[in-house]
Structure 1
Amino acid sequence: MPTRFAATRPTRRIVRVKSDRGIVYLVGAGPGDFGLLTLRGRELLESAQVVVYDFLVNPQFLTLCPTAEKIYVGKQAARHSMTQDEINALLVAQARLGRRVVRLKGGDPFVFGRGGEECAALAAAALRFEVVPGVTASIASAAYAGIPITHRDLNSSFTFVTGHEKEADYQEPDARARGAGAATDLDYSVLARLPALAFYMGVKSLPRICRKLIESGMPADTPAATIRWGTTPRQKTVAGTLADLPEKVAAAKLGPPAVTIVGRIVALRETLGWFENRPLFGQTVVVTRTRQQAGTLTQRLTAAGARIIEAPTIETLPPASMERVDEAVRTAGSFDWVIFTSAAGPAAVRERLDRLGTDARVFGKARLAAIGEATAAAVRERLALRVDLMPTRSVAEALADDLRQAGETAGKRFLLLRADIARPALVERLRTDGAVEVADVAVYETRRARSLPPALLEALDNGEIDWITFTSGSTARNLAALLGPDRLARLKTAKLASIGPITSQTLRQLGLTPAVEAATHNIDGLVAAMTGQTD
């Protein structure tokens, strides 16, 4: 029989990683705009057990992981909360505890983010890791400053450069000990021949950078721009040329974090600028709505360019006793009209319907009325019902007028499902106009917030607040009570935006004058009033 020989197999080195150990995700958070976080990054933050984050990370990202342990390892120029070796050891230690760790880094982990070093440390420890790229600062900041990083008529390359590669003041002791290696030496004679450059972390060394480029042959009149806090409402762009940019940046008192773009593409900013042209750009706006209701207003104001401080002055909670609420819900169909006066009402009713094991069929033949578009939208979204009547003016008196003019008040039975502090005006008008029954049931209660966020108090003390928005009289009263007399007086330096006449009346009773009042008493009207008056 012929002899059979086993096939020769190449020798392979197998690295075994224990599957029961944790994993570290290096996630690029982008340069600051919350909307630039990737979907994968958001998913990982929401499931993280530990989040290790940097100085440049937008604090809003941390709201996506409320239950995770958060560890700050931020670095600023010459001020490091941890050395890089200590950060590497921290990641290894957390992964060895079997935890899902998100290492959240500004920009992209692999663009001057030292992500390569962190991955190397994890690989050496035979630990699992993944890398989630982020939008790097130079690309995003340039775009938000109206500077395309490439243009077919102006450049065919774009080069990333570290701006303080030899600044000993910025380096950690271990970095200084390594000395200046090939990775830290820049050949300015080569850089000067390139059409477009992006310098990271180079504010302190900007005079040297510009001087070296000019000495190496780049024309002194080459357009250049420094962008600080790119993609955020704090963004500030200073444009000039290689010859005068350092002086302009110093005069503007621009400091880190910033990137500098050099090349003819910078000249396009004059026609392509968009982010800094928005009506509320750079202005700080306080939103006093409840945390549950602040989202829409915050989004609209952010889209208009504002920096938002959410300072809820009201907290909503269920009534102490549900007996009357449940009875009202069960018998809603026996009334002629069911009225909702705020978006929180339908949400509270939906929760009770679910608890009672029933649905919107309890409303039977009763007709529905709502005050305001947001309330009508909540009825549609929460109860899958459309309202039969919504006054053009979002006040109780307007609804009472419409009902009377339609002949729908006298002899009718009304069920009002609203807050415990709702104004009595609607009940009084309905009874005066001949209603045979008006059942006013508090389906939720409101309480003054226990405190205001430190960010609001600090901004108010520093005179940094441009606008404060008020969407009800109670937001105004509660803010005044929480601030106290001394700080309340400081509100006169800010512009106050009121959603409607009742809210404006409350402000005046508090000695405050609204700068604008929404023509249509809803969020759209409030934002429109504010964007029409920004000076």
Structure 2
Amino acid sequence: MDARDIEAEPGTVYLVGSGPGDPGLLTVRAKALLEDADVILHDRLPGPKIIGMLPDERCEYVGKHAQGERTTQSEINDRLVEYARNGKKVVRLKGGDSFVFGRGGEEAEYLANHGVPFEVVPGVTSAIAAPAVVGIPVTHRDYASSVSFVTGHEDPSKTESAVDWEALAEAGGTIVVLMGVKRLPDYTRALREAGMDPETPVALVERGTWPQQQVATGTLETIVEARDEVGIKPPAVTVIGDVAATRESVLDVLENEYAPLVDRAEAQEGGAKATSDGDAPTVAVFRPDDDRITDAVTLLEELDAEPVPDPMLAVEATGATPRSDADYVVFTSKTGAELVAEAGWEPEAETVCAIGPATADALRAEGYAVDLVPEEFTSSGLVTALEDRVAGARVEVARSDHGSPVLLEGLEDAGAYVHETVLYRLVRPENSGRSAELAADGELDAACFTSSLTVEHFLEAAAEREIREEALAGLEAATVGVIGEPTRETAAEHDVTVDLVASEATFERLARETVDATRED
């Protein structure tokens, strides 16, 4: 293997297919480029395990955000060109194969038109891999000598579908539809109307090779009902044709390392107990709509849970920076660390304190030295760590407008001269509240509240929808975890029953303990 096979070239863009989601199915070339790249642009489709391998400091998320906003293709194209012209080794990472309904062809044309060198690194397309790992071949000597790959999610600007379903019905063979969960009723009806036998076998494979892999099977007539019964959600592959039925003949001896291969509908008929989505509990998470919600979703997926991202906090920066005459400067969030860095704040001789490891890591990432992190990652923990040091000292607390009074009062009681600088305001994003609707419908298994404000904003969103009491009842039936005692107190004030307080005030500990408690229930 020569140097080209190992190292990326500066100023070059690599359009890399990541395969269906299992890191073991990455190509050797793809893995080498991911290790060597200066910047990796990705969405969620490579899957939680592959995304979890990537170094955060070199990654840039360019997918759909929890509020429904999406990084546009034109923005992605421009970033690829900009990074390459700045001499970066750039990987554009896609799920499956970037040239199979992955818009890789559009990106290649854009790069070529702008004179940017690029390389295409094929991946194992989920159109073949996802059916294969659950025992479905897309071709079979006895059943299908041809296969058609179709997108179920066309350009929304098209006035009519470019897919000729009538021709596909007449052609025979296997039809594989990618990104077709939502439009399943439309195209199965179109195929029946075109003369395809309603008893034609159909299979849906969700997140093939991911921890949350699951399968629904039926016929052209019944598959929509099976989809809803199993709870299939995107991303999923639809296989239409006689090959979908061959799975039954191999299922008893088929082995792989992924999720159980038995259909959830069959398991429930046998009396197995399930949460609202098979063995994957639905867990609401209320982090801000940035890399924190992305990281939270990835963590919950790694825990074999189904995340319900519903950001209840949006940041409005004030532009303020900490005073320069303090002896101590206290930061209580990652957001605060990032905002003071953006504003150009430079510490002098101050002792820099962080409320916990996430805030400390964010400060260090911005180039600041961190002098103190308390043993307990709470406002009370900070007071305990500082109370013997700050008598007569000037303490600057730099945080949001919703900080706990415990910190200010505790430091003042210890004899410090305390000043608070509000770096940002926390507001509830528009359109938040999806989790409240799920709770009201009894479809939420757990909720992870990370601050008092997330509790208040959740209930405000429910009240706006006139489902406050129903949402409270849904939380009563779910597992409710909170990050600390102040959040528990706020929840209690609003009649929210809390099942657990995280043993450590970090989101990871909260998520793990909440998911574990949900499964114990």
In structure 2, what residue type is equivalent to 1:519?
Answer: S
Question: Structure 2: how far apart are the matches of 1:533 and 1:472?
Answer: 20
Determine if the alignment matches structure 1 residue 524 to structure 2 residue 497.
no
Measured after TM superposition, the shift of residue 523 of structure 1 is 1.3
Identify the residue that residue 141 of structure 1 maps to in structure 2. Answer: 130
Question: Structure 1: how far apart are the matches of 2:362 and 2:166?
Answer: 60
1:353 to 344, 347, 353: 344
Identify the residue that residue 428 of structure 1 maps to in structure 2. Answer: 409
Instruction: Note if contact 2:436-2:458 (Cα within 8 Å) is conserved in structure 1.
Output: no
Aligned in 2, Cα 1:206/1:227: closer, same or farther, shift over 3 Å? farther
Q: Look up the SS of the partner of 1:262 in the other structure.
A: helix
2:488 to 504, 515, 520: 504
Measured after TM superposition, the shift of residue 246 of structure 1 is 6.4
Instruction: Note if contact 1:228-1:254 (Cα within 8 Å) is conserved in structure 2.
Output: no
Deviation sequence 1:152-207 (CA, Å, 0-9, x none): xxx99998854999xxxxx9896647994xxx255xxxxxxxxxxx8736988798
Identify the residue that residue 340 of structure 1 maps to in structure 2. Answer: 331
The alignment-based identity, stated in percent, is 22
Question: More deviation in 297-306 or 450-459?
Answer: 450-459
Question: Structure 2: how far apart are the matches of 1:459 and 1:33?
Answer: 30
In structure 1, what residue type is equivalent to 2:496?
Answer: L
Q: Look up the SS of the partner of 2:518 in the other structure.
A: coil
Computing the radius of gyration over CA atoms, which structure comes out larger, 1 or 2?
A: 1
Deviation sequence 1:89-148 (CA, Å, 0-9, x none): xxxxxxxxxxxxxxxx9966887x799xx99xx9xxxxxxx9985643344424765x69
TM-score between the two structures when normalised by the length of structure 2: 0.59
Aligned in 2, Cα 1:314/1:379: closer, same or farther, shift over 3 Å? same
Identify the residue that residue 385 of structure 2 maps to in structure 1. Answer: 402
What aligned pairs does 1:461-476 form with structure 2 within 5 A after superposition?
A: 462-476=441-455
Question: Structure 2: how far apart are the matches of 1:532 and 1:349?
Answer: 37
Measured after TM superposition, the shift of residue 453 of structure 1 is 3.9
1:272 to 246, 257, 270: 257
Determine if the alignment matches structure 1 residue 307 to structure 2 residue 306.
yes
Identify the residue that residue 220 of structure 1 maps to in structure 2. Answer: none
In structure 2, what residue type is equivalent to 1:396?
Answer: S
Identify the residue that residue 446 of structure 1 maps to in structure 2. Answer: 425
Identify the residue that residue 88 of structure 2 maps to in structure 1. Answer: none
Measured after TM superposition, the shift of residue 300 of structure 1 is 0.8
Aligned in 2, Cα 1:229/1:431: closer, same or farther, shift over 3 Å? same
Aligned in 2, Cα 1:177/1:32: closer, same or farther, shift over 3 Å? same
Q: Look up the SS of the partner of 1:531 in the other structure.
A: helix
Deviation sequence 1:248-280 (CA, Å, 0-9, x none): x87972479533373665445566333789999
Measured after TM superposition, the shift of residue 447 of structure 1 is 3.2
Aligned in 2, Cα 1:179/1:311: closer, same or farther, shift over 3 Å? closer
Measured after TM superposition, the shift of residue 529 of structure 1 is 0.8
Q: Look up the SS of the partner of 1:438 in the other structure.
A: strand
1:375 to 355, 359, 362: 359
Question: Structure 2: how far apart are the matches of 1:233 and 1:274?
Answer: 6
Determine if the alignment matches structure 1 residue 285 to structure 2 residue 283.
yes
In structure 1, what residue type is equivalent to 2:257?
Answer: L
Aligned in 2, Cα 1:488/1:27: closer, same or farther, shift over 3 Å? farther
Question: Structure 2: how far apart are the matches of 1:466 and 1:529?
Answer: 14
Identify the residue that residue 236 of structure 1 maps to in structure 2. Answer: 214
In structure 2, what residue type is equivalent to 1:470?
Answer: F
Instruction: Note if contact 1:497-1:526 (Cα within 8 Å) is conserved in structure 2.
Output: yes
Measured after TM superposition, the shift of residue 449 of structure 1 is 1.8
Identify the residue that residue 12 of structure 2 maps to in structure 1. Answer: none
Instruction: Note if contact 2:432-2:461 (Cα within 8 Å) is conserved in structure 1.
Output: no
Question: Structure 1: how far apart are the matches of 2:16 and 2:414?
Answer: 62
In structure 2, what residue type is equivalent to 1:229?
Answer: E
Aligned in 2, Cα 1:246/1:370: closer, same or farther, shift over 3 Å? same
Aligned in 2, Cα 1:28/1:176: closer, same or farther, shift over 3 Å? farther
Aligned in 2, Cα 1:273/1:33: closer, same or farther, shift over 3 Å? closer
Measured after TM superposition, the shift of residue 412 of structure 1 is 3.0
Runs of 5+ consecutive residues of structure 2 not aligned to the other structure: 1-14, 44-62, 77-93, 110-118, 151-160, 178-186, 229-235, 263-273
Identify the residue that residue 331 of structure 1 maps to in structure 2. Answer: 325
Deviation sequence 1:488-523 (CA, Å, 0-9, x none): 223332432211111111111111112332111101
Question: Structure 2: how far apart are the matches of 1:226 and 1:140?
Answer: 14
Measured after TM superposition, the shift of residue 69 of structure 1 is 9.7
Deviation sequence 1:47-81 (CA, Å, 0-9, x none): xxxxxxxxxxx9569966337499xxxxxxxxxxx
Task: Please give the root-mean-square deviation of Cα atoms over the aligned residues, in Å.
Answer: 5.3
Question: Structure 1: how far apart are the matches of 2:245 and 2:121?
Answer: 25
Measured after TM superposition, the shift of residue 372 of structure 1 is 1.8
Measured after TM superposition, the shift of residue 483 of structure 1 is 2.2
Measured after TM superposition, the shift of residue 311 of structure 1 is 2.2
Q: Look up the SS of the partner of 2:226 in the other structure.
A: coil
Deviation sequence 1:355-399 (CA, Å, 0-9, x none): xxxx44x2x2x32322122112122212331332322x2221122
2:176 to 190, 195, 200: 200
Instruction: Note if contact 2:16-2:121 (Cα within 8 Å) is conserved in structure 1.
Output: yes
Instruction: Note if contact 2:439-2:474 (Cα within 8 Å) is conserved in structure 1.
Output: no
Aligned in 2, Cα 1:200/1:368: closer, same or farther, shift over 3 Å? same
In structure 2, what residue type is equivalent to 1:66?
Answer: T
